[in-house]
Chains A and B, each alone.
Chain A
Amino acid sequence: MKILKLSSRGAMALVLAASLTIPAWSQTTSSAYAIKGGKVFTLAGPAIENGTVIIRDGKIAAVGANIAIPSDAQVIDATGLEVYPGMFDPITQIGLNEVSAVNATVDVSELGDYNPELVAATAVNPASAHIPVTRANGITSVIAVPGSTSLDLQSGGLIAGQASAFNLAGWTMDEMQINRSVAMVINWPSIQTATFDFASFSVKEKPYADVKKEYDKSVNTLSDWLDRARHYAQAKEKGSPTLYERDLKLEALVPVVERKLPVLVIADQERDIRNAVEFCTKQNLKMILGSGAEAWKVKDLLKDKKIPLVLAPTNRLPEQEDTPYDKPYTEPSELFAAGIPFAFSSFGTAFSRRLPQYAGTAVAYGLPHDEALKAVMLNAAQIFGLADQLGSLEPGKLANIIVTNGDPLELQTQVRYLFIKGQLTSTDNKHRDLYEQYRKRPQPAH
């Protein structure tokens, strides 16, 4: 745990110097790099002092202490620096949400409650200003999640669509995409008797019996969709296209009922999580819990059912008035102690760059530092079945790498070099551009 002592102005100068070698708008196109001299945190074993990472054709070719540097490799001197896998933010709206309050720039929530055929990747805008801003803070890949309701005002729908994983650099989504469909998103219907009504800007109370009735109806409809998907799969398998016309919604649900595609179920309250787990167990779905503000109340259940968790931002208020004030901060260490796999996430767009901060806060309240690193770099890749490509510095994986001047979870740490898919990538972004522009503004004449 180190507190940065380096003069920040000096750091800034170094960053600018480093970025001069990279075109402001893009990535380089060299096929081989060697990052040498840094302390290498592979997350697949102990840290390597004075280690070397060889990158070739977008992938990690070798990692170790005494590795020969290929003659064609461009060498990055990381002496005094630290080398990590890039961070991975698994629940975001990046690319789907540019300016939250401006509908024309938001493609998060489609109309209707059941939209399994919709795929986030379709509408991810590769030119989004959020992409360079986010990667400058060391986040190299994200998952865009449709219908995620945590941080926006839209309803989201019950089956909101498919989430897509991608790297935060590239000219088109085809170049950026890691996996077009990593999970089917379900916003679990919550039994809430008091809800905030935006039309009247006040809290509206509903009788429990009414809310429960609505809830039962939603769950029955969800079951019905899954049953129909099973029948559809059977019919398709038996080869009777005359009996079944192609149905995009049912077709999209087939991998779900066949357990090939996990469901990412967003739920927070203890009762909702229990209901969701019971439902997914009964339906034999591969469940990932998303958000889980009260996951600490159901640790045994999650452990027993082997359900991983993408945790709501650590820096949030406790769920209830009498919940310990620090519960959101201590929850990650409790989950770790209970052996529940979890990853940190921003659940946002503009706050995706806060990902390391959320992990750092958890460390302050008891989570081991190396576990916190895994929970922003490796765990999400494992949870979403992408660990063969992402999450650690091992040969064969995508070369998504950050080179920092210190602990990546600490607030003042700068990312000095950024590799995405093996290309040295600019950390320039809209914010730094505006800063440089207005910093140079002459004193106005009075």
Chain B
Amino acid sequence: MKRKILCTAAMLVALAPIATRAQNPGTILIQNATVLTVTHGNIEHGSILIRDGKIAAVGADLKAPEGATVIDATGQFVMPGIIDCHSHIAVDGSVNEAGPAVSSMANIADVLNPDDIDIYRDLAGGVTAANILHGSANPIGGQTVVIKLRWGKPASELPFQGALPGIKFALGENPKHSNFPTPPGVTPRYPATRLGVEEVIRQAFIEAREYKKQWDDYNQRKSAGAQNLIPPRRDVRLDPLVEVLEGKRYVHAHCYRADEILMLIRVANEFGFKVRTFQHVLEGYKIADEIAASGAGGSTFSDWWAYKMEAFDAIPYNAALMTERGVITSVNSDDAQEARQLNQEAAKSMKFGGLSANDALKLITLNPAIQLGIEARAGSIDVGKDADLAIYNHDPLSVYAVVEKTLIDGQVYFDRQRDIAQRSTLATEKQSLLDKEKKAAEEKKAEQKKTEENSEKKPDKKPGQKKKPPQDGSNNGSGNVNIANGAAGGAR
């Protein structure tokens, strides 16, 4: 029975990708739109020609080639698809391997869940790519992956091809476990201070450097023709850190306070690697010059603050101030809902700190693309880039903007009108599944009753032994309610 309910839930989820599965489009012309290119201004009554998933032309007077699909976007705004530099959607289960203080062996790419409904929801908020991060429980967390929100495609087709993998670091309250008490009887984990966080990271890189040296020596001797060499023992925990040292893997470091940010810059300098992004970086505005000089980007929230002590000096001017001081800055979500409104969050940097509209747009397009090293493929509307686009009915920096369509690789993955049109079909299908489940439950109940009646007739039953009540809710007087709840809500 329970299995059946789960199947029903899975089927319901499966309906949406069928409804919205993108078709290979060939050639598409989006016309009559206000095109917000981000790199070369806004084009009124502009058009975008898409060929084989790439932007083939952008301009004011483009004609539709023969056989092209035309999307009339009169009165609408087209912007580059939003890139969320901090997301935890599409992850199957927990995002934290919270046992060891260094969990670099764990990889988020291994647990991508293409059926997570939040992929579709964020797509409906104009998001086309996201940096899927491990959690912040450890000074050195797990490996991370950049995905495109190709809803309906299997997990293997989610990763953004060519994007460098990353690794999550975390500083401050979370890795030192300040805000979740250690359960009674459990030994607290080291580190419990910011001092210890630094030590854990430094120690790990000392090991990684030593390990790298062993491999470098081995490879050198091997290539010099040495025979009968024994390779060093593979260490899956240190491999990703070696990639960091070699510049093949980006460090995305969760952080809040200015002191801990400076600490990591010092440690990175000591070992000769670069931090690619400081994530959250809510006190980034206090040391924006130092961050800019280190070459790291800052990926922050719009106006979150005061949810913990290290967020008490957070200000909504952070993105604007870091931008002013030369830090490549993005605004991220860290949350499936916030991702649906990143356009609104970016707009706040105009109010708080006076960014221009284009600089505000950059916070959720070009800048996160640079931070993730995918700016040659995404982040602006330029010829040759992937046709990852969001079409709004209004200026996307207005609270009144609604996403009409989202395209990835030139394919329409989200279409608001299509979504609305298919709702009644989905509702009918859900009802028929529920009816089927109810019927099955009633039959089961009848059968159970029959079995119980039979067993009660047996004479060898011990006196005083009570019947065990059914535990599945089918005999509680509101069984139907329970089943409905299971089918519709059980998966969450």
Binding site for B on A (CB under 8 A): 1, 3, 7-9, 11-12, 98-102, 129-130, 193-194, 198-202, 207-209, 212, 271, 315-322, 324-326, 349-351, 353-354, 356-357, 360-361, 363-365, 409-414, 430-432, 434-435, 438-439, 441, 443-444, 446
CA of A412 to CA of B316 in the docked complex: distance in angstroms?
13
Chain B residues with CB below 8 A from A432, complex form? 317
Cβ of B368 to closest chain A Cβ, rounded Å: 20
The stretch of B66-74, B220-228, B285-293, B375-383 in contact with A is: B285-293
CB neighbours of B355 from chain A (8 A): 8
Chain A residue with the shortest CB-CB distance to B317: A435
Contacts of B305 in A (CB 8 A): 350, 431
CB atoms of A410 and B317 under 8 A apart:
no
- B344 interface residue (CB < 8 Å to A): yes
- Report whether A354 and B309 are in contact in the complex, using a CB–CB cutoff of 8 Å: no
| Cβ contact within 8 Å between B307 and A325 | no
Q: Is B289 in contact with A208, judged by CB distance below 8 angstroms? A: no
> How long is the Cα–Cα vector from A271 to B486 in the complex, in angstroms?
13
Contact at A193–B485, with CB atoms within 8 Å? yes
**10 A-B pairs with the lowest CB-CB distances in the bound complex, closest first:** A360-B399, A208-B473, A101-B308, A8-B354, A435-B317, A411-B347, A431-B315, A9-B354, A364-B400, A350-B306
- Could you say which of A1, A130, A361, A439 contacts B306, with CB atoms under 8 Å apart? A130
- Given A129-B306, A320-B492, 9 more A-B residue pairs with CB atoms under 8 Å apart are A201-B180, A316-B337, A321-B491, A326-B124, A350-B307, A363-B400, A364-B402, A411-B351, A435-B321
**Is B103 an interface position by the 8 A CB rule?**
no
Task: Report the bound CA distance from A201 to B397 in whole Å.
Answer: 37
The listed residue (B16, B121, B321, B490) touching A439 by CB distance below 8 A is B321
A8, B351: Cβ atoms closer than 8 Å: yes
Q: Check A364 against B354 for contact (C-beta < 8 Å).
A: no
CB-CB nearest in chain A for B320 = A435
Contact of A322 among B12, B118, B285 (CB under 8 A): B12
Task: Given A349-B306, A431-B317, verify A208-B476 contact (CB < 8 Å).
Answer: yes
Interface residue ranges, B against A (CB under 8 Å): 9, 12-13, 15-16, 94, 98, 117-118, 120-121, 124, 173, 178-180, 183, 285-286, 288-290, 293, 303-309, 311-313, 315-317, 321, 324, 336-338, 340-341, 344, 347-348, 350-356, 394-395, 397-402, 419, 423, 426, 430, 469, 471-473, 476, 478, 481-482, 485, 488-492
Give complex CA distance A8, B304 in Å. Answer: 21
The answer to whether A364 and B399 touch (CB under 8 A), given A198-B180, A209-B469, A318-B121, is yes
Q: Which residues of B contact A3 (CB under 8 A)?
A: 394-395, 397-398
Q: Count chain B CB atoms within 10 A of each CB in A99, A207, A208, A356 and give the residue with the most.
A: A208
How far apart are A389's CB and chain B's nearest CB, in angstroms?
29
Q: A194 — which chain B residues lie within 8 A by C-beta? A: 490, 492
Do A99 and B312 form a contact, CB below 8 Å, given A8-B354, A209-B469? yes
Contact B124 A208 (CB under 8 A): no
- Give the residue of A360, A413, A444 whose beta carbon is less than 8 angstroms from that of B290: A444
Q: Let me know if A361 and B341 touch, CB within 8 A.
A: yes
Set of chain B residues within 8 Å of A1, measured between Cβ atoms: 398, 400
Residues of chain A within 8 A of B15, CB atoms compared: 322
Q: Are B303 and A353 in contact (CB under 8 A)?
A: yes
Query: B492 to chain A: which residues have CB within 8 Å?
Result: 194, 320-321
A130 to chain B, nearest CB (A): 7
User: CB-CB < 8 A to B180: which residues of A?
Assistant: 198, 201
A411 touches B397 (CB 8 A): yes
Write the nearest CB–CB distance from A280 to chain B, whole angstroms: 20
B402 adjacent to A363 (CB under 8 Å)? no
Q: Which residues of A lie under 8 Å from residue B183 when comparing CB positions?
A: 199-200
Other-chain residue from A9, A101, A271 in contact with B173 (beta carbon distance below 8 A): A101
A438 in complex: contacting residue of B98, B117, B304, B321, CB < 8 Å? B321
Given A8-B355, A412-B397, A439-B321: A317 touches B121 (CB 8 Å cut-off): yes
* Distance in angstroms between the alpha carbons of A321 and B117 in the assembled complex: 6
Question: Which residues of chain A come closer than 8 Å to B469, judged between CB atoms?
Answer: 209
**Interchain nearest-CB distance for B96 vs A (Å):** 8
Contact, CB under 8 Å: B321 / A208:
no
Q: Which residues of B contact A353 (CB under 8 A)?
A: 303
Q: When chains A and B are docked, how far (Å) is the Cα of A12 from the Cα of B352?
A: 9
Question: Contact: B471 with A209, CB < 8 Å?
Answer: yes
Residues of chain A within 8 A of B12, CB atoms compared? 321-322
A17 to B352, CA, bound (A): 16
Residue with the highest number of chain A CB atoms closer than 10 Å, among B308, B315, B348, B476: B315
| Cβ B307 vs Cβ A357 within 8 A | no
Residues of B within 8 A of A208 (CB): 472-473, 476, 482
Asked whether B118 lies within 8 Å of A317 as measured between CB atoms, the reply is yes
Give the interface SS of chain A, mostly helix, strand, loop or mixed: loop
A207 to B468, CA, bound (A): 14
Q: Once the chains bind, are B350 and A8 in contact (CB under 8 Å)? A: yes
Instruction: Report how far A271 CA is from B324 CA in the complex, Å.
Output: 51
User: Are B306's CB and A100's CB within 8 A?
Assistant: yes
**Chain A residues, Cβ within 8 Å of B306:** 98-100, 129-130, 349-350
A100 vs B485: C-alpha distance when bound (angstroms):
32
Shortest Cβ distance from B49 into chain A, in angstroms?
28
B179: which A residues are within 8 A, CB to CB?
Answer: 101
Known: A8-B355, A101-B179. A212 touches B476 (CB 8 A): yes
Which residues from A are CB-within-8-Å of B399?
Answer: 356-357, 360-361, 363-364, 409-411
Contact B309 A101, beta carbon cutoff 8 Å? yes
CB < 8 Å neighbour of B308 from A102, A324, A357, A360:
A102
> Which chain B residues lie closer than 8 Å to A412 at the CB level?
347-348, 350-351, 397
Q: Are B118 and A100 in contact (CB under 8 A)?
A: no
Contact A321 B9 (CB under 8 A): yes
Provide the residues of chain A in CB contact with B491, threshold 8 Å.
321
Residues from chain A with a CB closer than 8 A to the CB of B321 are 435, 438-439
Task: List residues of chain B with CB within 8 A of the CB of A439.
Answer: 321, 324
Which residue, of A271, A325, A363, A446, has the highest number of chain B Cβ atoms within 10 A?
A325
Residue in chain A with minimal CB distance to B117: A321
Give bound CA distance, A8 to B347, whole Å: 11
Q: Which residue of B lies closest to A314 (CB)?
A: B341
A435 in contact with B472 given A99-B307, A357-B399 (CB within 8 Å): no
Instruction: Give chain B nearest CB distance to A328 CB in angstroms.
Output: 9
Q: Tell me the smallest distance from the CB of A81 to a CB of chain B, in Å.
A: 16
A411 to B302, CA, bound (A): 12
**Residue in A closest to B313 when the chains form the complex, CB atoms:** A434
Rounded to whole angstroms, the CA-CA distance of A444 and B325 in the bound complex is: 12
With a cutoff of 8 Å between Cβ atoms, the chain A residues found around residue B398 in the complex are 1, 3, 410-411
Contact of B303 among A207, A349, A354, A360 (CB under 8 A): A354
- Chain B residues near A364 (CB-CB < 8 A): 394, 399-402
Of the candidates B401, B471, B485, the one whose C-beta lies within 8 Å of that of A207 is: B471
**In the complex, chain A residues whose CB is within 8 Å of the CB of B353:** 435
In the bound complex, what is the Cα–Cα distance between A84 and B98 (angstroms)? 50
Q: How far is the CA of A324 from the CA of B419 in the complex (A)?
A: 8
Select one of B308, B312, B401, B419 contacting A325, CB under 8 A. B419
Question: CB-CB < 8 A to A318: which residues of B?
Answer: 121
Q: Is B482 in contact with A101, judged by CB distance below 8 angstroms?
A: no
Closest to A199 in B: B183
Known A-B contacts A322-B430, A438-B285; the reply to A413 vs B481 at CB < 8 A is no
Give complex CA distance A365, B293 in Å: 44
Contact A322 B472 (CB under 8 A): no
Q: Which residues of A contact B401 (CB under 8 A)?
A: 364
Can you list 10 contacts pairing A with B, beta carbon distance less than 8 Å? A3-B397, A199-B183, A200-B183, A317-B340, A321-B12, A431-B317, A431-B352, A432-B317, A435-B321, A444-B290
A129 to B314, CA, bound (A): 12
Q: Find out whether the CB atom of B9 lies under 8 angstroms from the CB atom of A438.
A: no
Per the bound structure, the CA–CA distance linking A321 and B17 in Å amounts to 13
Bound Cα distance from A409 to B9, whole angstroms: 38
Which of A271, A322, A431 is B316 in contact with, Cβ under 8 Å?
Answer: A431
Known: A410-B398, A411-B348. A101 touches B121 (CB 8 A): no
Contacts of B293 in A (CB 8 A): 446
Residues of chain B with a CB closer than 8 A to A209's CB: 469, 471, 473, 476
